[in-house]
Chains A and B, each alone.
Chain A
Amino acid sequence: MPCPHPMLQPRTRGSDVPLTPLLTAHWDQPDLHTLHGYRRHGGYTALPQALGMSPDAIIQTVKDSGLRGRGGAAFPTGMKWGFVPQGDDRPHYLVVNADESEPGACKDIPLMMTDPHSLVEGVVITSYAIRARHAFIYVRGEVPFVVRRVREAVAQAYEAGLIGTNILGSGFDLDVVVHAGAGAYICGEETALLNSLEGLRGQPRLKPPFPAVSGLYSAPTVVNNVETIAYVPTIVERGAEWFASFGTEKSPGIKLFAMSGHVQRPGIYEAPMGIPFSELLGYAGGMREGHQLKFWLPGGSSVPLLTDAHLDIPMTYEDIAGAGSLFGTGTPMVFDETTSVVRAVSRWIEFYKHESCGKCTPCREGTYWLVDLLRRFDEGQAVASDLEKTLDVGEQIMGRSFCALGDAAATPYPSALKYFRSEFEDGTRRHTDELFPPAAATVFTEVNA
């Protein structure tokens, strides 16, 4: 059976803790992205079931399942839906945040590419639950192939009467719009996304009011991540209890873990919450041949670093927080000893500076300053006092910026300094290229050579 992409190949089970391929169970099927392919593997069976339930019952089911938002903030999904005022005679909207742009996070884009109908089915069920008649899928603009694929899936669903008027004879109407972003990380922030969707400048809005009260076009709006919505049909079909039986009480369910970096087999591994990081690493084939783990980030670049001292940590919100980091998107980035922490942090800060929307002072000016400082470490031009100054500048951003982007920019450096202070001290003397020759750290050396 030919596979769509090496990243998406099925994994053999190399451990006695089972993977739980559910969303990913049929990702090796070349026609899974079609309506026919999705149906052949049991797709669109949850939808009629959901349409037979009361909307409130669906909200309750999702509440009971304990599902938490998979975009990084981990807000309980059912509770978010419950905030939407009911019986208010106003339009409600569902907006799917498919603007996956976090460095290291690559789960929503493969999901939409491989199995877009799971998202579409989730969208219809969720819209029904929150009494929305319009749903929007806001897809990152840099991935036009994904935009095309989701649009195609939506078109097929329209044709099959799964979207549109009187869906499956239920009397429920829904229109779904697939909207492509224009290339801004900030539009992954839900209120900036709403602004962008309205045709305004992509900058975050003042909260409160929260989107559930006043979101898109000032109407009650639920904004959910792709993965969150894609799990909804399964939860409806198999029940809240089944879903909650995985993971821990605070971190229930199954999750797409996207492993990247210096591992043998980067890719997406669907597993129960609470799986130890070391086991995920095992599924990914371990570190590159002849190399050792140096540091890793549990979920994107916006979380503090962890090291090989944290190998056995269970992948739950609470355990990772306990270790001083954040679960984030649950997409671990793994680095071996060839990697310069200074350069890695420097690259991330460059990213945040480039993506800072400019609205608030701490993020706009703070990222500018941090980049200036980090570049000095990278080039061996820093002075001793820059170590503390950089911490200080970070503190001036952390907790004081308008939205989480500023906090994210201030996050990597303190943990990097904590675990790898000597590398920053080296940054007062020697260029990173000398200390960590880039070729050694490059993952696909032979490709680049």
Chain B
Amino acid sequence: MTITTSAQTGDAAAASETVSVTIDGIETTVDKGTLIIRAAELLGIAIPRFCDHPLLDPVAACRMCLIEIDGQAKPQPACAVTCGDGMVVRTQLTSQVADQAQEGVMELLLINHPLDCPICDKGGECPLQNQAMTAGRSTTRFDGRKRTFPKPIALSTQVLLDRERCVSCARCTRFSEEIAGDPFIELLDRGSQQQVGIAESQTFQSYYSGNTIQICPVGALTSSLYRFRARPFDLVSTPTSCEHCASGCSLRTDTRSDKVQRRMAATSPEVNEEWNCDKGRFAFAYLTAPDRLATPMVGRGDDQESVSWSQAMSAAADGLRAAGTASAVLTGGRLSYEDAYAYAKFARTVLGTNDVDFRAHASSTEEAQFLGSHVAGAPLGPTYADLEAAPVVLLVAFEPEDESPIVALRLRKAARRGTEVVTIAPVTTRGSAKLSARVLATVPGGEASALDELAGDGPAADDVVATRAAVRRPGSVILVGERAAALPGTLSAVVRLASAAGARIGWVPRRAGDRGAVDAGLLPTLLPGGRPVEQAQARVDTAAVWGVESVPAEPGRDLPAILEAATSGQVKALVVAGLDPDDLPDPQAARAAFAAVEFLVALDTRSHWVTEHAHVVLPVAAAPEKAGSFLNWEGRVRPFEAAVRSTLLRSDAWVLTALAAQLGSSLGVGSLAQTRRELAEFEPWAGPRLEPPEVAAAEVPSPGAGFAVLASWRQLLDDGVLQQEEPYLAGTARPPVVMLSAATAAELAVAEGDPVTVASERGSVTHALTVGDLPDRVVLIPANSHGRVTSELGVSPGAIVTVSSGGGA
């Protein structure tokens, strides 16, 4: 049963007015527009219900919540009638009419229900089962033949439907239409044959389909992954946060015998409300992947062998001691905030270097400056609530549905209530169509010019003029994605526009650990809390909290410089955490650096190229195996507990503390409590921040025939390493395509569905063609679906590539 704490219906404007209503003899005052069922909840009166859901529009279909209202001849559905002033309501607690109506509806609901609770996944946590106990008869009077269906039907590879269990509450279809905007399921047929179904040629290909399983009040919808795996009462539930992206969903992780059985969206009204995406729900098989690292190892390549922790620590310490301050730390974006802080402190206090960088994407010094001036240590916000309240949200180099799916859901909610969404993007995507977004069609690399045009007041197209006015309205927000770093001048132009328009800026990175790493000081120019290394006071503050005499004063090298220095021998030791070279814009150069460096220590969860080439490998716990927190894109702390407790693996911070001890230092972050106490000692930084970047807009590339500007981002469901081993989830991924404008397709003499090859000097990717509304000579391909753009092409979005018909390059 869903519990809410405040009125859900009615506009904010109406909320200031109140009405007085009497429910079961208790007089109460509620906001005007409050539904009776919500008002009753506030009094602690639970009216049974199935179709009602506080985040969905009322439908009054199941009739379970019938109550009596004085003056009304018939019992009324409490889920659809708003409280009127002076209204007298009697629920099942005080009204025989209501009680009998509810009992009657329950009896009817059960006549065609199979009552197969003993073998149903929902048994034990089933609203139908529970409410049949509280509101139903002990035995049925129906002795006829029940309606049956063949079972189950696969709505998609991951959502299965047992139609005979369905009570036609339409929560699933309403969620899909109202919330997700993916109406791929619909009620079909009528009467007792009414059933949920899909179109013949179109399965339930929604990124949010798993939510329908969670809100199904019976066992009609089940997941391929969890079906027949466990009984709810055998599960241990742990409150967790999602490690997959920067949206920051609260989740509930359910384990049995310390193995994750399923994950569900937890209620977090300020972030994910009651929803999450399918990746967060279903992608956890990586925890038990065969390539999980279990023991420390030393020796490179073929000589690699498992050793004891003490041997490994000793080897790591020896190597790092030899390198001294010629060491650097590269962490990737998947660390918890506390672990990121441990690395930041380890680099400065143990290794004595500012050569740290968390960024595992195409980055730039412009980005580092932007993060220092606008993101690191900034107070909370803009928030999800700010998006919902904003008159306008401008998206720059950011595709919410793929790159931060809960941001997409909240934007859709906002858009349905009147928020205008504008996106600077190369194409109208399904995601932006669902937001009714105005698309300012932009060639990758042209974002900065487009932003400058919005900031200016010269003659411009109608769309631009309209957006100029819109973005200047109070409360407007600019959301910029991490891809902007690879598009020179874009972040500078975002800052210019925000300042001209008075808009707030939200930086939405892709990975769950990115924002925490920024705030923890995993950048060569930043100490914790956005303190610039270059500021003496910042260094003094930090040294004071850390109990050291000083921290290195010179800003360090960023990732490209570290890799270069490692190749040339200037950096002699690398500490690398969960960094995949293929995520970097030039994987070849990264591999060369890792191979060339004198000493490589890898802290990781799984075996891959970097761990295979490390001198010392230290296995660490994955997020569900440890406690900690993430900072989501808003900067909000998203704490999580360890769901899997029996593991022998420890957090990165624990391992670093041990390693520091081996090196004769006390890192002091071996426990979460220690780390959090220490983090709390940092006052908010009041000194000067890094100067905002001032990079001029780059010239928009204009390729000739046979060439195109590359547009690319990662689809939510793709070949990402955390999604591996999960075929049901992969079955709902959008098939990769090459997208071109009609004119460019004609130029290449290719038609919809034909193979098209996108190639660089280094390699090529081939997918089937889809024609889209892109600018001419722009090509869009997914970044990591059946061929990773970084490793196959070795270029970033905005680069010029060749496009050609057929499978050959």
Contacts and interface: CB of A to CB of B under 8 A. Distances in A.
Given A399-B73, A400-B105, A369 B59 contact: no
B58 interface: yes
Nearest to B168: A358
A369 B113 CA distance: 13
Interface string A185-197: 0100000000000
Given A206-B80, A353-B191, A400-B63, A359 B168 contact: yes
A401 B142 contact: no
Contacts of B58: 206
B62 interface: yes
A364 interface: yes
Contacts of A362: 63, 104-105, 108
Nearest to B167: A361
B351 interface: no
A364 B192 contact: yes
Contact of B59 (A206, A353, A401): A206
A369 B104 contact: no
19 contacts: A356-B190, A358-B168, A360-B61, A361-B109, A362-B63, A362-B108, A364-B191, A364-B192, A365-B111, A365-B192, A368-B112, A369-B142, A372-B144, A372-B145, A396-B101, A396-B105, A399-B75, A400-B74, A402-B63
A362 to B, nearest CB: 6
B107 to A, nearest CB: 7
Interface string A356-379: 111111101111110011000000
Interface residues of B, number: 35
Given A368-B112, A401-B63, A361 B191 contact: no
A413 B653 CA distance: 75
A310 interface: no
Contacts of B61: 359-361, 402
B151 interface: no
B60 interface: yes
Nearest to B113: A365
B198 to A, nearest CB: 15
A354 B167 CA distance: 18
A201 interface: yes
Contacts of B194: 357-359, 364
B136 to A, nearest CB: 12
B17 interface: no
B187 A358 contact: yes
Contacts of B549: none
A392 to B, nearest CB: 8
A361 B144 contact: no
A367 B111 CA distance: 11
A449 to B, nearest CB: 35
B116 interface: no
B64 interface: yes
Nearest to B144: A372
B453 interface: no
Q: Which 3 A-B pairs have the closest CB atoms?
A: A358-B194, A396-B104, A365-B108
A318 interface: no
B186 interface: yes
Contacts of B167: 361
A360 B66 CA distance: 12
Given A358-B187, A400-B63, 18 more contacts: A206-B58, A356-B191, A358-B189, A358-B192, A358-B194, A359-B61, A360-B63, A361-B61, A361-B62, A361-B109, A364-B192, A365-B111, A365-B192, A369-B108, A369-B111, A369-B144, A373-B144, A395-B104
Contact of B64 (A361, A368, A372): A361
Nearest to A205: B59
Interface of B: 58-64, 66, 73-75, 80, 101, 104-105, 107-109, 111-112, 141-142, 144-145, 147, 167-168, 186-187, 189-194
Given A395-B104, A400-B101, A358 B193 contact: yes
A250 interface: no
Contacts of A396: 101, 104-105, 107-108
A121 to B, nearest CB: 36
A184 interface: yes
Contacts of B63: 360-362, 400-402
Nearest to A354: B191
A445 B186 CA distance: 46
Interface residues of A, number: 30
Given A361-B62, A399-B73, A367 B191 contact: yes
B192 A400 contact: no
Contacts of B60: 206, 360, 402
Contacts of B74: 399-400
B103 to A, nearest CB: 9
A142 interface: no
B141 A368 contact: no
A353 B192 CA distance: 8
A360 B192 CA distance: 10
Given A358-B168, A360-B63, A401-B63, A368 B104 contact: no
Contacts of B168: 358-359, 361, 364
Nearest to A399: B74
B34 to A, nearest CB: 16
A196 to B, nearest CB: 12
A238 interface: no
A358 B62 CA distance: 10
A355 B58 CA distance: 24
B108 A357 contact: no
Contacts of A11: none
A41 interface: no
Contacts of A395: 104
Nearest to A184: B190
A184 B74 CA distance: 26
A367 B144 CA distance: 13
A408 to B, nearest CB: 14
B219 to A, nearest CB: 17
Most buried by A among B58, B75, B104, B109: B104
A389 interface: yes
A266 B58 CA distance: 46
A364 B167 CA distance: 10
Contact of B192 (A186, A201, A356): A356
Contacts of A354: 191
Most chain A Cβ neighbours within 10 Å, of B58, B73, B190 = B190
Contacts of B191: 353-358, 364, 367-368
A389 B137 CA distance: 14
A359 B173 CA distance: 13
A360 B190 CA distance: 11
Contacts of B64: 361
Nearest to B105: A361
A396 B141 CA distance: 13
Interface in A396-415: 396, 399-402
Contacts of B141: 389, 392
A14 B10 CA distance: 62
Contacts of B145: 372
Contacts of A373: 144
Contacts of A206: 58-60, 80
Contact of A360 (B62, B104, B142): B62
Contacts of B112: 365, 368
Contacts of A400: 63, 66, 74-75, 101, 104-105
A204 to B, nearest CB: 10
A57 to B, nearest CB: 35
Contacts of A401: 63
Interface centre among A353, A356, A360, A402, by most B CB within 10 Å?
A360
Interface string A169-202: 0000000000000001010000000000000010
A368 B147 contact: yes
A362 B101 CA distance: 10
Contacts of B190: 184, 186, 355-358
A211 B66 CA distance: 24
A379 to B, nearest CB: 13
Contacts of A369: 108, 111, 142, 144
